[in-house]
Amino acid sequence: MSNKFPDNFLWGGAVAAHQVEGGWNCDGKGVSIVDVLTKGEHGVPRKITEQVQAEETYPNHQAVDFYHRYRDDIAMFAEMGFKCFRTSIAWSRIFPNGDEATPNEAGLAFYDGLIDCLLEHDIEPVITLSHFEMPHHLVSEYGGWANRAVVDHFVRFCEAVLTRYRDKVTYWITFNEINNQLNWDYPLFGYCNSGVVFTEHDHPEQTLYQVLHHQFVASAKVVALGHVINSEFSIGSMIHMMPLYPATCHPDDMLASQQAMRDKYLCSDVQIRGHYPHYIWPQWASKGIKVVMHDDDAQILKNGQADFLAISYYMTNIVDANPPEQDENALFSASRLNPHLPASDWGWQIDPKGLRYALSELYERYELPIFVVENGLGAVDIPDQTGAINDDYRIDYLSQHIEALEEAISLDGVDVMGYTPWGCIDCVSFTTGEYRKRYGFIYVDRHDDGSGDFSRSRKKSFDWYKQVIANNGLTG
Ligand code: BGP
């Protein structure tokens, strides 16, 4: 196929601090909310515990030991030819409790080493400021993002790292998948996005929208502050993009899908346009939701419009206005499975064309560059007798999505900045806390029963992706 990726296209990979680093209490780090999340089993969600308890297994405590091995791992990313690497900075390494006045120098020193190492390899760091974690103290003492006081604590954390890396990092993302908590009946997303378990509240949606408002204000303040610290900073909004197709062409299904998609767009509408969209006011009025806003919040939102849109894209689902009954295999309560699509072992429906569709929809909506900062196939990898991992299924998945990206660029004219497949090195699954749900080009010898020595090896997809990058997007 032809190759229309721009020369400066940012090929790379993505992870999040807590899913790779381990070292959960090293060098003065405080307890993060992910440090009290247990391992789940297949089909059994992770448990949110109040504090670390001896009898529980907490996979994020060691993760894949990136904290001690990042130099070797980054050398392998460089070997694949990565132009960029997306990771997050753990808030609890920099402000262990979240409400201290000054940062933890040892925590900053870790990220100094990591970022310098990337730059030595000519790999552009892409930094997420909040990726599903916060200091646990801000939850136990303040109630998480439901409390407006957390806005100032977050801005102080961001100011510390934006200043520290003003000459080293250009691309920033404020909140990972900020819209994920709109699945508020799925407690894990809400908890990790905001420190709040919405279902425990009398009026969960009221709490949810108050949380979101605080995060919109915080994000806008960080964007505005970042542009003062370095006017070259490019600071993005990031959403989980899961197009919800209408189940049929029945007008009721069309309307149901249009309305359900508003939950996907709400956060980027606010963060990119700098104001709330028209559809939210009647929605809130009909549900009796009243969000407390300060007089100058509208101006803050306006002053902090994001520079680009980042998305994660894994799947599509369908929406039926009159579902016969809840589809027990569907991942989210409002959605149903699409009979035209295959699914991963975890039920995530595979839809490369949906990526092209998503990119076109989003570019029409915002006319801003789009960075695909997560995409990939979670699968069980089984080494053969020689220890090799022939992950053709992953190569197939990624090839199809890269081709869809190319079509979005060449046929639809979408401005796509880059592509960073999720979990470029195997890491702890966010939703299940398992090691066996693997995404990487690099295999990590670590298993759910606690065995494995954390050694790294190259999967078949490692050489394949290296060629893709070398050929600027040709998949084979
Ligand atoms: C996204 C998260 C990531 C990542 C990914 C894959 O929602 O931003 O942190 O984990 O999903 O999910 P999982 O690890 O559950 O397979």
- Pairwise CA distance, residues 385 & 389, whole Å: 10
> Has residue 334 been placed in a domain?
no
Report pLDDT for 45: 79
Give 112 Cα–ligand 1 centroid separation in angstroms.
26
453: helix, coil or strand?
Answer: coil
- Segment 77-83 shows an average pLDDT of 98
Alpha helix ranges (H) inside 240-351: 251-273, 280-287, 297-303
Mean predicted lDDT score pLDDT of the chain = 95
pLDDT 10s digits, 97-148: 999 999 999 999 999 999 999 999 999 999 999 999 999 999 999 999 999 9
Strands annotated E in 145-278: 171-175, 234-240, 244-246
End-to-end CA distance of the chain: 9
pLDDT in tens, 318-372: 999 987 665 565 555 556 789 999 999 988 999 999 999 999 999 999 999 999 9
Check pocket membership of 429 for ligand 1, CB cut-off 6 A: yes
Q: Which of 312, 420, 428 to mutate to test the pocket of ligand 1 (most atoms within 8 A of CB)?
A: 312
Asked whether residue 274 is domain-assigned, the answer is: no
Residue 120 lies in a domain: yes
Q: What is the pLDDT of residue 183?
A: 84
SS3 state at 325: coil
Both tokens of residue 306? 């994001």
Is 422's C-beta closer than 6 angstroms to any atom of ligand 1?
yes
**What ipTM, to 2 d.p.?**
0.99
Which pLDDT band holds residue 186 (cuts at 50, 70, 90)? confident
Find the range with the poorest average confidence among 43-57, 76-90, 234-248, 370-384. Answer: 43-57
Q: Which of 431, 438, 444 to mutate to test the pocket of ligand 1 (most atoms within 8 A of CB)?
A: 431
- Exposure of 333 in the CB half-sphere (CA atoms within 13 A): 6
Task: Say whether pLDDT at 12 is over 60.
Answer: yes
Judged on CB neighbours under 10 Å (0-12, 13-18, 19+), 107 is: buried
The string of pLDDT tens digits covering residues 386-418 is 999 999 999 999 999 999 999 999 999 999 999
Confidence category of residue 376, pLDDT binned at 50, 70, 90: very high
Report pLDDT for 332. Answer: 57
**pLDDT score, position 41:** 78
| H/E run at residue 5 | none
Q: What is the pLDDT of residue 139?
A: 97
* Tens digit of each residue's pLDDT (9 = 90 or more) over 142-178: 999 999 999 999 999 999 999 999 999 999 999 999 9
* No. of helices (H) and no. of strands (E), the chain: 14, 12
Please report the atom of ligand 1 found closest to the CA of residue 132: 9
The residues assigned a catalytic role are 374
Q: Is residue 429 assigned to a domain?
A: yes
Question: How far does CA 179 lie from the centroid of its chain?
Answer: 10
User: Which residue owns the Cα nearest ligand 1 atom 12?
Assistant: 430
Q: For CA atoms 229, 234, 240, 243, give the dihedral sign.
A: positive
CA 12 to ligand 1 centroid distance, Å:
17
Residues 447-460, mean pLDDT to the nearest whole number: 97
* Residue 59 lies in domain: 10-199+212-242+306-311+353-470
Does residue 317 form part of some domain? no
Residue nearest to atom 4 of ligand 1 (CA): 430
Q: Is the pLDDT of residue 1 over 60?
A: no
| % of the chain with per-residue pLDDT over 70 | 97
Q: Domain total for the chain? A: 1
H or E segment at 310? strand 308-312
Beta strand pairing status for 317-319 and 244-246? parallel
Q: Is 291 among the domain residues?
A: no
Instruction: Count CB atoms within 10 A of the CB of residue 136.
Output: 24
Would residue 297 count as lying in a domain?
Answer: no
- Return the pLDDT at 158: 98
Q: Using a 6 Å cutoff on CB, does residue 437 contact ligand 1?
A: yes
Instruction: Give the CATH number of the domain where residue 154 resides.
Output: 3.20.20.80
| Tokens, residue 167 | 């000459």
In-domain check, residue 247: no
The alpha carbon of 239 and the centre of ligand 1 are apart by a number of angstroms equal to 12
Q: For residue 293, report the distance from its CA to the centre of ligand 1, in Å.
A: 31
